[in-house]
Structure 1
């Protein structure tokens, strides 16, 4: 079965590099919030693994942990997180099958539920 949120090798490598610069006990919280040009914005932040809530979904990739709250997971299920170090258009990108519309910057989206 495919994971609820997947990472490309490039994303995993970059996230591990970012995490190693901070602390080894951190996980990545991925979510959504209201806002952005298309209605909903992606959120990502490192946090202590101890902060995971009982209702969070926890996904592990080669020792790297992602947590996501249940409401956000409704909008993110099946999403793939990628990373590119290209000078133009580089950074993290979200390939979200639930997005019915995506803004030009790729950091916000619209979805019908």
Structure 2
């Protein structure tokens, strides 16, 4: 997806209030030039992931996986900070 946009992008991950369990995950592409000085930055295999400090409190130790399976495919979040998650796996309570 990043290659299709043909831009210098990074992936911003975070959390916000909402979702069935109280907090939901957010992910979006962002220009590398728009990252903030207080963002945590992870470089992995030539790809940059950024996260704001408030979200990092809820995401520290989380494992993000992707599957292209026809059933149950997409991103999956394994978050050790979640006390409960919803059935779709896109929101959680901490």
Q: Report the TM-score range of the alignment, normalised by the length of the smaller protein.
A: over 0.9
Q: Does 1:101 align with 2:84?
A: yes
Greater share of helix residues, 1 or 2?
1
Gaps of 5+ in 2: none
Q: Partner of 2:30 in structure 1?
A: 47
Q: Which runs of 4+ in 1 moved over 3 A?
A: none
Q: Distance in 1 between matches of 2:36 and 2:57?
A: 17
Q: Distance in 2 between matches of 1:36 and 1:64?
A: 28
Greater share of strand residues, 1 or 2?
2
Q: Following superposition of structure 1 onto structure 2, how do residues 3-18 of structure 1 map, counting pairs within 5 Å?
A: 18=1
Shift of 1:62: 1.1
| Aligned equivalent of 2:66, options 79, 83, 90 | 83
Shift of 1:24: 3.9
Gaps of 5+ in 1: 1-17
RMSD of aligned residue pairs (Cα, Å): 0.7
**Alignment length (residue pairs):** 94
Shift of 1:23: 2.5
Shift of 1:44: 0.1
